[in-house]
Structure 1
Amino acid sequence: MLKPCACEPFAPTHAEIEELALLVLGPDMQAAHTYMQRVKRRGLSLHVLFTELLEPAARHLGRMWDEDRCDFLDVTLGVARLQELLAVFNDTHSIPAMGDMRRVVTLTAPGEQHRFGLAVVEKFMRAAGWHVRSEAGASLETVIKAVHAEWFAVAGISLSCDSRLDVIEDTIKAIRQHSCNPSITIMVGGAAFKDAPHHAKTVGADGAADSAATAVLLAQKLLDQSLTRRAYSVA
């Protein structure tokens, strides 16, 4: 007699990813909420919803911008709405002062010369409602003073060359050690991580973003996780 198998829920298809991207560009945000509810009812975890639907949808919006199929205002609005969907389904959207907690410090690794990509990330973050303090090109001592004096939920670090991973690892350790927010989370990006996201774990970061659009969602995900951990520790 054949035993019934527990099949994995179907992951979102490419067509469904594109459909969500178009919904968050449209005038009816409730349609996007309803769509997410329908997909979630398949039994997908929030992690899968993030990695297989929300993040790819943000990446698709970024490609639409690159291909001049939508303008900067459209794509940043769409990414901001994806961020809100993530907060809703992580159940952090109703936390008082959520907007005030969206604070990120961005920096380049010491000695890093490539800053254009980080500048684009900063524009996307601001458009999505984040308070951004840019320390691009600043010394590690300056960054340490900044995170010690001011509360940030997330630090975002850009690196273009994977031969300097040891430098960014030391930077991350220093930020965690001196931050006035003991729960600060770290995301990394840049060419060093684009095709090798596993390097994020190597350097001690909490995650890697491969584009400006996905950086917004990753920052929200890290903030949500931090808030969830805090809630459990207080309970």
Structure 2
Amino acid sequence: MARTDNLQVAQDNWIGCLTYQSTATKIPDATELQSLARQARARNRSVGVTGMLLFEEGRFLQTLEGPPEGLEAIWSSVARDQRHSEIEVLSKHMAPARLFTGWDMFLSSNVSRIPDPVGGQFDLPPAVAEHVRKAVQMSLDGDDIGLNALMAALAEQGWTSDAVLSLLIEPAARALGDAWLADDCTELDLTIAISMLQMAGHAVRYETAPQGIRSSRYSILLATAPGEPHMLGTALLADQFTDAGWQVEMAFPDTEEALLNQLGAQKPDAVDIGLSDALFRQQSLDRLRSAVEHSRLVPANHPTVVSVGGRLFAEAAATAASVGADHARMTVAGASIRMAELVRKSRRENSRRGR
């Protein structure tokens, strides 16, 4: 595992920020994850480092932030840890302020249900929770200027694209869905507010993808589930995959037949089919299962990796296996890298079979 270069202080009182992803060498259970988090909290607290650790389908995504010397000490330990491998640094930079103030290490995983941050089911740092509340209110008010200003301010504070997506936009979408379920807004209000988040999300710029992905020219069809009116996740994915160098096509089909027709015409390496990021849509599972099953039959002699997404999967209420997909994304963040891994794996397997 390669060490990163020593972090350099860009300005007095700025802090170092490092985000990486890796693969678990052994899938931990809920107890083991909690133990890992407790150890990390004690270690991080001793050197003034804060951060967040996500675990999904055998993969870790972690952001660490703090004084450069403390961060370097933590990174040295992380790089030697035998509980994970295939470590890839996604971002390394300096920032004027912490994103995770108050979290010596927050753990989120799909081993247990991910709570809604606005509903108060787990403790968000007050500043982050306040940003989410502001985004929700601005979206309901149609305040595009305010939303864009919030995005710009967070970028200046050092928020990465993944942080904006997973800690602001996606939680705000879920909070809007809860507001509709509680009759605090109308269906029209919800639809307009989701559109506001979607437009604000276009301001998010993604880090440069690894050269291997950019040179591969993978192709993907990003589609909403047949008949799904909410397209927030699909739109955010389009920006991310385009910035990562993928060939991107989009579809907003009214029917399964329309989706299958586009799949047959494009023959992509991957397809992502998204449900609402605001509402659970349990009633859509049977139709989604049918769409996934039939999508595998359309691109003859061209196996396609199938991903699904939406709130129903983000909060672990459903899994990839429940609809026959290869992957269920819990967040838009990092999706292009995860899908590239799955496409590479699919190509290797098909090559061994002589296809």
Instruction: Report the TM-score range of the alignment, normalised by the length of the smaller protein.
Output: 0.5 to 0.7
Q: 1:27-77, CA deviations, whole angstroms, 9 ceiling, x for partnerless residues? A: xxxxxxxx9998565334558x58xx9999974463577599xx622xx01
Superposition map of 1:1-235 within 5 A = 13=40, 14=51, 17-19=62-64, 39=78, 41-46=80-85, 59-60=162-163, 62-63=165-166, 72-73=204-205, 76-77=206-207, 80-81=208-209, 84=210, 93=212, 98-100=215-217, 102-160=218-276, 161-196=281-316, 198-234=318-354
Structure 2 distance, partners of 1:227, 1:42, is 30
CA pair 201-15 structure 1, distance change in 2 beyond 3 A: closer
Q: Which residue of 2 aligns with 1:5?
A: none
SS at 2:252 equivalent = coil
Q: Going by fraction, where is strand more abundant, 1 or 2?
A: 2
Residues 256 and 291, structure 2, Cα contact 8 Å, conserved in 1 = yes
CA pair 46-204 structure 1, distance change in 2 beyond 3 A: farther
SS at 1:196 equivalent = coil
Runs of 4+ in 1 over 6 A off after TM superposition: 35-38, 53-58
Structure 1: runs of 5+ lacking an equivalent: 1-7, 21-34
Structure 2: runs of 5+ lacking an equivalent: 1-27, 29-34, 41-50, 54-61, 66-73, 92-107, 110-159, 173-199
CA offset at residue 183 of structure 1? 1.9
CA offset at residue 139 of structure 1? 2.8
SS at 2:82 equivalent = coil
SS at 2:316 equivalent = coil
CA pair 163-98 structure 1, distance change in 2 beyond 3 A: same
Structure 1 distance, partners of 2:322, 2:78, is 33
CA offset at residue 129 of structure 1? 1.1
Residues 273 and 308, structure 2, Cα contact 8 Å, conserved in 1 = yes
Larger radius of gyration: 2
CA pair 139-37 structure 1, distance change in 2 beyond 3 A: farther
Residues 59 and 211, structure 1, Cα contact 8 Å, conserved in 2 = no
Structure 2 distance, partners of 1:18, 1:145, is 41
Residues 209 and 218, structure 1, Cα contact 8 Å, conserved in 2 = no
Once superposed, what is the RMSD of the aligned Cα atoms? 4.0
CA pair 63-113 structure 1, distance change in 2 beyond 3 A: closer
SS at 2:216 equivalent = helix
CA pair 231-41 structure 1, distance change in 2 beyond 3 A: farther
Structure 2 distance, partners of 1:210, 1:111, is 21
RCO higher in 1 or 2 (8 Å CA, sep ≥ 6)? 1
Q: Going by fraction, where is helix more abundant, 1 or 2?
A: 1
TM-score (norm 2): 0.45
Instruction: Give the AA of the match of 1:154.
Output: A
TM-score (norm 1): 0.65
Instruction: Give the AA of the match of 1:72.
Output: V
Counting aligned pairs with the same residue, the percent is 20
Structure 2 distance, partners of 1:117, 1:190, is 7
Structure 1 distance, partners of 2:317, 2:85, is 20
Q: Which residue of 1 aligns with 2:122?
A: none
